[in-house]
Chain A
Amino acid sequence: MKDLYKYRALLLLSFVMLGSVLAYAQDKKYRARVSLQYTKIMDKESYIGISAKYKGKDGFDQASDLEFSIYKVDQNDSLIYLGKVKTNENGKAKFLLAADELENEEATVFNYIAKIENNERFEDGETSVSFSVANLTAKIEMIDSVNQISAVLTDASGIPLQEVPLRVGLKRLYGSLQIGENRYETDENGSILIPLVDPMPGVDGNLNFEVVLNENDTYGTIKAMVNAPIGVPVVEESTFDERTMWSPPTKTPLYLLIFPNLIILGVWLPILILTFNLYRISKSKTQ
């Protein structure tokens, strides 16, 4: 009888252990590593960029299809729910802030929180970002017969921000081409002035420059775009309609049509005559 209890206890213990293992296997969730970045593109949009990854079996992977709830922290430290956003296949998401979100506020520092809540694959968690509002303006002007790009960086109240590094680039299809130095620091007026000396090609002569305050601890990322028709117009040198060595049969270069065909004719005409001569031989029996 005592043995029977012992066996029952062992059986029960086995089930409990097996159940624990299965339950653990089902409940094991990944911990997402999340970073937030505030970005403002002047005269266009402001958003909170989210980048999420996690440590999988073979190292870090992008956390795709991960939903975040976005909250704004008000002055009383209470959370205001703004909405949800999901990461794409690269583990990135972009939560657009409403145009009036950062205006009419007495606060100088804004706090936002992105939360992972009740996700099947990932543990609950939250990440916050704090920033102050700044403004960046850029324009092209001609000084001493040289085109110059000037930019001014100010805070929300219009006070120039000094000794802040800005980067100037020319927008291209796959990214930004650096103009001049790697970075320019703003002067006491919060401005920089970069001469555009070298001729730069652009479609119809249009060039799109950007001045960027990149991932600043206080102000996040701020971009100001400026378009100017000061480039060298790109002339498309397509040979599509020309007769070239690389064109299709209908557009073979004329000399390649004429001379080889003359040679072919010059060889095949005698061949045809020689073949016809066989017929003549067969008909010359009686002569």
Chain B
Amino acid sequence: MSTDFDQLVYDLAPRKFSWKGNLWVAILVVIILVGSYSYVQQVRQGLVITDMRDYALWGVYISNFVFFVAISLVGSLITAILRLSGIKWSTPLTRIAEIIAVAAIIMAGVTIIIDMGRPDRMLNLFMHGRLQSPIIWDVIVITTYLVISVLLLYYPLLPDFSILKRHAPESARVRKWYSGLSLNWVGNSEQRRIYSRSIKALSILIIPVAFAIHTVTAWLFETTYRPGWDSTNFGPYFIAGAFVAGAGAVVAVMYVLRKTYRLENYITDFHFNKMGKTLVLLCLIYLYFNINEYLIPTYKSTEEEAVHLQSLFTGQYATLFWTAIIGGLVLPVIILLFPQGRKPLPLFLVSIAVVVGAWWKRYIIVVPTLSHPFLPIQGVPESWRHYSPTWMEWSITFATLAAALLIITLLVRFLPIIPIHETSEERGLVDAAQTK
């Protein structure tokens, strides 16, 4: 019996929540229940309970949807790109990234349904959808990405489930689940061959699909002729922003999990340092796209664009805009350029700023543009020209965010946060793992 291997399994196997974990789940459930109440009101009364009217057709729901889509990209970044690049240091982060990706893409789909005035007609999207419409492309690509993300989460879990069914400190019932989910994994050569090929194929497959999901989401805006969206730059701009948001989310979650499960030996300062550097690079790329996105329209200053940009730079949305740009991009870059800034706690705080900034950035992309259409609507009440989410919209939005966190929490409860099998392989404990 290998003591090191036992220690590894002990350290990395899922554990029951402490009272703090249960409290966390309870808080999330309460937020979801409040949001559910609001959603029931929305289904009963219609979207009139929101502040969305003829001007702001898309409000906080769609900004939240774009945020979830952005966060989900992290699965392809950490898992696929780094894996295919042969980068080994990312191993402890892959499962976290995959879990975040699955939770985010599920909630992205749910958020789109929430935004529907008549969710009972959702099937019409599939039955009467037109391939000419970017909405249908989005529906197809989100579904595809969800399936690939689930597969990419599940495949690397097979050996871990096999280990857990024997070693997890869980009840017999949970172990039975692990046994079933391990799909008779024994690690023989045939299984390993299929396993390796499949993961490699998934890693390749998820990259174009992940790029497609963000590009298509950007096209939803681009194909609508509006100030601020009339750009050919939106696809790469969205992808760059998604990488920033996703990387920020991974850093935030890995810090919390490391702290909670005392994983300092597995998620080390080295990983934070690497993720910090990655985040700097991604922020700089996104800043570059932001400069492109705002500088040239400002230079041209066509009448409608000028009104829109004025509302962002000095007008109604200036505080949000500059907070998101400076607090969510510029300051993080400056802080993370210094090694001290890439230590776990500072990096965690920076990542929170990045994620919050990323959320507001989506709000800024969606809402101000809708307030300044090329062709203003005549004779509408003045209140329709301004959008401010109602408390019910906020409660539903917070519920979706809480639901995403709850999915992550529950997956963390039953899945090993760090891949046990891969880690044991990297640490030369693979033989022990095979024999046990």
Contact = CB atoms under 8 A, between A and B. Distances in A.
Interface string B136-154: 0100100010011001001
Given A270-B205, A281-B195, A256 B186 contact: no
A283 B191 CA distance: 9
A245 B194 contact: no
Contacts, number: 69
Interface in B172-214: 183-186, 188-191, 194-195, 197-198, 201-202, 205, 208-209
A76 B183 CA distance: 114
Nearest to A244: B132
B131 interface: yes
A267 B132 contact: no
Contacts of B186: 285
Nearest to A267: B144
B222 to A, nearest CB: 15
B158 A271 contact: no
A249 B190 contact: no
B183 A278 contact: yes
A271 B151 contact: yes
A277 to B, nearest CB: 5
A249 B130 contact: yes
B187 to A, nearest CB: 10
A249 B131 contact: yes
Contacts of A287: 188-191
B129 interface: yes
A275 B132 contact: no
A240 to B, nearest CB: 15
Given A264-B140, A270-B205, A249 B128 contact: yes
A253 B130 CA distance: 10
A282 interface: yes
A15 interface: no
A274 B184 contact: no
A79 B293 CA distance: 81
B188 A256 contact: no
A283 B186 CA distance: 11
B101 to A, nearest CB: 16
A287 B195 CA distance: 14
Most buried by B among A245, A270, A274: A274
A81 interface: no
A159 B122 CA distance: 76
Interface in A249-270: 249, 252-253, 256-257, 260, 264, 267-268, 270
Closest 6 pairs (CB-CB, A-B) = A282-B183, A285-B184, A284-B190, A287-B190, A245-B132, A277-B198
Given A252-B131, A271-B144, A285-B184, 6 more contacts: A260-B140, A267-B209, A274-B151, A281-B183, A281-B195, A282-B183
